[in-house]
């Protein structure tokens, strides 16, 4: 290899392939809070982010569901007015959470080689609000009223692109779109970039803002959403025998991942390690999971394998459990196959609702904080455990547990399965 070729080669090389991946920054905006700390505190306090939708359109349209988990802090209260107008709501939350994570990491655009900085932010749907609003303008006042920013605002890669441009990231900007597994798959993608020596730092996670008429109507017609409108805070009930469907949420979760040697060289604080990842697909049905949990268990097993972990190492699983009749139990079947009956489970969607493409990223952050603080949040509204669940599911109050390793599950329509294995720093 010539000197010129050697200098142009990725810095990771073989050393990067074996180096550990660590998390050095966290950011989020959710139905429970406008940042990570407020979200985590509210989750531990047993609060719910679910309420009657603030707008009147669900009732005006005759939808059977008019509850959701809307953001606790409106993006317009955080972003400058002009910037907010140029971004779809999905892009707004991605930018907000990314700025938090970047600041939390202690990095700056001057301290990272842009050729060694990547961004991976997934979304399940993208700019739903922009698509609906601009179509209304086209069919009403006409073409002249349609924004020239329509396509950049509705495209699913918009959140990743805006963050990548702001950070001047040039190692690659990617946008996995795998339904409700998108945010977790983005984190898995970041892991692969770092392990392959393509980057030293990757900003990764998920964003979603799809509490919109067409999305709600579609889910309602599919009969997947809770209709417990009279008691919004009790509507999302993962693992509970009386659950009647999920509650739609919105938000973003972003983390900064680094090669461990890079983080330690700059004296960064380290939350946890992303020890291993696993991805798979069911090849079974567009909306229903394989009832045997085969694909889900393969993803979990792969996360253990890539992380050099045994099933006995996993003390906790942060579950995807959405509060649907089939999905919750199927996940526990897969956990039993891949890990066993010993892990303690929890399901944050009881409090946060289902943030679709952002869910896996936000719940990965919850998993990291569980390891850091040695506490597992309770599953909200779990009063009568489904008899098909044999695991110990935390309910009522948070539980203090000494965790060395924990798994975060995320699954999506289309049969997408992602498992992330985190260990203490």
Compute CA distances 376 → 358, 395, 398, 410, whole Å.
20, 10, 5, 18
| pLDDT-derived band at 2, boundaries 50, 70, 90 | very low
pLDDT(76) > 90: yes
Q: Strand 172-174 vs strand 117-122: parallel, antiparallel, or unpaired?
A: parallel
Distance CA 26, CA 29 (A): 11
Q: Is residue 5 part of a domain?
A: no
Rounded CA separation 402/60 (Å): 49
Q: Catalytic residue among 90, 180, 220, 319, which?
A: 180
Residue 422, in any domain of the structure: no
Q: What is the pLDDT of residue 5?
A: 31
pLDDT of residue 17: 39
341-360 mean pLDDT: 98
In a domain, 45, yes or no: yes
CATH number at residue 41: 3.40.47.10
pLDDT for 8: 34
Average pLDDT, the chain: 95
SS3 56: coil
12, pLDDT greater than 80:
no
- Asked if the model's pLDDT at residue 72 lies above 60, the reply is yes
Domain for residue 184, yes or no? yes
Residue-wise pLDDT tens digits, 232-289: 999 999 999 999 999 999 999 999 999 999 999 999 999 999 999 999 999 999 999 9
Evaluate if residue 53 carries a pLDDT over 90.
Answer: yes
Helices (H), 258-406: 260-265, 294-307, 327-338, 349-352, 359-373
Of 2 and 419, the one with more pLDDT:
419
pLDDT tens, position by position, 101-146:
999 999 999 999 999 999 999 999 999 999 999 999 999 999 999 9
Q: Any catalytic annotation for residue 220?
A: no
Model pLDDT for residues 309-327, shown as the tens digit of each residue: 999 999 999 999 999 998 9
- Of 5-14, 282-291, 374-383, which gets the smallest average pLDDT? 5-14
Torsion of CA 127, 128, 133, 135, to 10 degrees: 100
**pLDDT for res 19:** 87
> pLDDT value at position 7?
34
Global confidence as pTM: 0.95
Sequence-separated (6 or more) residues with CB below 8 Å from residue 205: 27, 94, 97, 98, 101, 121, 122, 183, 186, 187, 252, 253, 254, 255, 358, 361, 364
Q: Is residue 61 part of a domain?
A: yes
Number of domains, the chain = 1
Provide the pLDDT for residue 93. Answer: 98
Q: With respect to residue 317, please indicate whether it lies within any of the assigned structural domains.
A: yes
Percentage of residues in the chain having pLDDT higher than 70: 96
Write out pLDDT tens, residues 183-210: 999 999 999 999 999 999 999 999 999 9
| Length reported for the chain | 425
pLDDT range class, residue 58, cuts 50, 70, 90:
very high
Residue 4 lies in a domain: no
Number of neighbouring beta carbons within 10 Å of residue 219: 19
Q: Give the pLDDT score at 324.
A: 95
Single out the residue of 332, 312, 311, 309 nearest to residue 320, CA to CA.
332
Query: Given the DSSP bridges, would you call strands 375-376 and 405-412 parallel, antiparallel or unpaired?
Result: unpaired
Pairing of strands 67-68, 51-52: antiparallel
Q: Give residue 15's pLDDT band: very low, low, confident or very high (50, 70, 90).
A: very low
Domain range enclosing 82: 21-415
In a domain, 6, yes or no: no
């Amino acid at each position: 290899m010539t000197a010129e070729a050697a200098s142009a080669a990725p810095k990771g090389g073989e050393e990067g392939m074996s180096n550990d991946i660590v998390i050095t920054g966290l950011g989020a905006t959710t139905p429970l809070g406008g940042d990570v700390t407020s979200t985590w505190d509210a989750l531990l306090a047993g609060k719910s982010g679910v309420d009657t939708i603030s707008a009147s359109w669900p009732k005006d349209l005759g939808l059977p569901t008019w509850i959701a988990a809307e953001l606790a802090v409106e993006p317009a209260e955080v972003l400058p007015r002009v910037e907010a107008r140029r971004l779809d709501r999905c892009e707004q939350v991605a930018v907000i959470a990314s700025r938090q994570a970047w600041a939390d990491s202690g990095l700056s655009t001057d301290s990272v080689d842009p050729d060694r900085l990547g961004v991976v932010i997934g979304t399940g749907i993208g700019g739903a609000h922009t698509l609906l609003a601009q179509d209304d303008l086209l069919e009403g006042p006409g073409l002249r009223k349609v924004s020239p920013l329509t396509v950049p605002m509705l495209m699913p890669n918009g959140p990743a692109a805006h963050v990548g441009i702001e950070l001047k990231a040039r190692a690659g900007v990617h946008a996995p779109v795998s339904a409700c597994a998108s945010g977790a798959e983005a984190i898995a993608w970041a892991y692969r970039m770092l392990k392959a020596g393509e980057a030293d730092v990757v900003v990764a996670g998920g964003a979603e803002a799809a509490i919109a008429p067409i999305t709600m109507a579609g889910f309602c017609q599919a009969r997947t959403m809770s209709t417990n409108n009279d008691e919004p805070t009790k509507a999302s009930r993962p693992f509970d025998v009386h659950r009647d469907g999920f509650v739609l949420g919105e938000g973003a979760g972003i983390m900064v991942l680094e090669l461990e040697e890079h983080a330690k060289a700059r004296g960064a604080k380290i939350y946890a390690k992303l020890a291993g990842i696993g991805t798979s697909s069911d090849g079974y049905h567009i909306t229903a999971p394989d009832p045997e949990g085969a694909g889900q268990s393969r993803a979990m097993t792969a996360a253990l394998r890539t992380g050099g972990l045994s099933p006995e190492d996993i003390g906790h699983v942060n579950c995807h459990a959405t509060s649907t009749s089939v999905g919750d139990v199927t996940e526990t079947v897969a956990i039993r196959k891949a890990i066993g009956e010993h892990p303690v489970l929890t399901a944050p969607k009881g409090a946060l609702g289902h943030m679709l493409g952002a869910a896996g990223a936000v719940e990965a952050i919850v998993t990291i904080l569980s390891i850091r603080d040695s506490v597992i949040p309770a599953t909200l509204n779990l009063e009568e455990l489904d008899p098909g669940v044999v695991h110990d599911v935390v309910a009522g109050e948070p539980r203090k547990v000494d965790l060395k390793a924990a798994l975060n599950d995320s699954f999506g329509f289309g049969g997408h399965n992602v498992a992330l294995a985190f260990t203490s720093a």
